[in-house]
Amino acid sequence: MKKACVTVLAVLLSCQFMASCQKTSMEETTALSGSETESVSESVEEDEGISAGDHILFGSYPQKSVSGTDTFDTVPIEWRVLDVQDGKALILSEYLLDATVYYYDMADVTWENSSLRKWLNGTFYDTAFSGSEKNLIQTVTITNPDNPVYGTPGGNDTEDKVFCLSLEEAQLYFKDANDRMTAPTDYAVSRGAAVSEDCKLENGMKTGWWWLRSPASSSNRAADADCYGNIDTKRNADGVDGDMVFAESNCVRPVVWIVLSDEISEVE
C-alpha cells in the first residue's frame, strides 16, 4: 500500500489534552499531574547507570540485508530508554523492526482485540528474546483511553509484555515531530514497509510510518506516526488521521518494560 507523505507539521495539543496525558508505569498507565507533564527529560531518573535518553542493546531480530542475497543478518535490537523507575526501564525500539497490519480485516477493533497485539506478544516476543531476556521483561497493565480528539473508544485495559505507545505517550516521550521520526530496517522494507522518498534520517535511512495502539477518527482506523513524525492531534488535520487497520505498509516500533541488569549494554 503506497502512501504519500504529508508535509504538515505536528500540531501541539491543547492544554486540556496535555492534562489528560498518560504515562505507562510499572503498575498501570496512570494520569500525570501538571508538573509531571512538563518534560520527561527534566526529571530524568537513573538506575544501573542507565537513564532516560540512553540507548541500549536488548534482544535480536533480522534487520540488515546480506549483500548479494535475499537474507538478513539477525543483530541486536537498539532501544531508546524512555523512562526509568525502581530498577526498571521503559524502552522503545529505535528503528522500525517489521511491517504488519493492526488488524487483518476491515473492521471496528480496539487494541485488546488487534492482530498487532497478538503478534507482538506471540511471534515477535518469541523471535526477538532469549529465555534469559524474557525473564527481564515485565507484564504490565496497559490502559487504552478513548481517542482524545475524536472520542473513538479505546477499549478495555490489557495485560501485555510487548505493546505500542499510545497517542498521549507519543506526545509525552518525544520533544517534537522530528524526534519521533525513524526508519524501517532492511528487513521491514522487505516485508512491505512504506518509506518516504523525501525524508531521511541523518544516517541516510528513509523514514517510515509506525503504529500507535490508540484508535484514530473511527474504530476501523488506528493512530500512527507518519514519515515526518506527525501524529493526529487536531481534528481534521490535513492528511494526519492514522490509517486503516488493515494497512500492510505501516511498521512496528515495540515497547517493553524490562528489569535493568548488568548484562544489558549501552550503545556507544
The total number of structural domains in the chain stands at: 1
Residue 7 included in any domain: no
pTM of the entire structure? 0.83
The per-residue pLDDT for range 153-204, each reduced to its tens digit, is: 999 999 999 999 999 999 999 999 999 999 999 999 999 999 999 999 999 9
For the segment 139-151, what is each residue's pLDDT rounded down to a tens digit? 999 999 999 888 9
Kindly tell me the sign of the dihedral angle through the C-alpha atoms of 90, 111, 7, 200: positive
Question: Does residue 211 fall inside a structural domain?
Answer: yes
The grid cell for 76 is 541486536
> How much of the chain is helix, strand and coil, in % rounded to 5?
20, 30, 50
Asked if the structure places residue 170 within a domain, the reply is yes
User: What amino acid is encoded at 219 in this protein?
Assistant: S
Domain of residue 110: give its range.
17-266
Residue 1 lies in a domain: no
User: Residue 172 domain-assigned?
Assistant: yes
What stretches in the chain show pLDDT beneath 50? Answer: 1-24, 29-45, 239
- Beta strands 46-47 and 50-51 are antiparallel
Q: Please give the distance of CA 125 from its chain centroid, rounded to a whole number.
A: 15
Residue 155, sorted as left (phi over 0), alpha (psi -120 to 50) or beta, turns out to be: left
For residue 234, give the nearest of 7, 13, 20 by alpha carbon: 13
Domain membership flag for residue 5: no
Q: Is residue 162 part of a domain?
A: yes
Asked if residue 2 belongs to a domain, the reply is: no
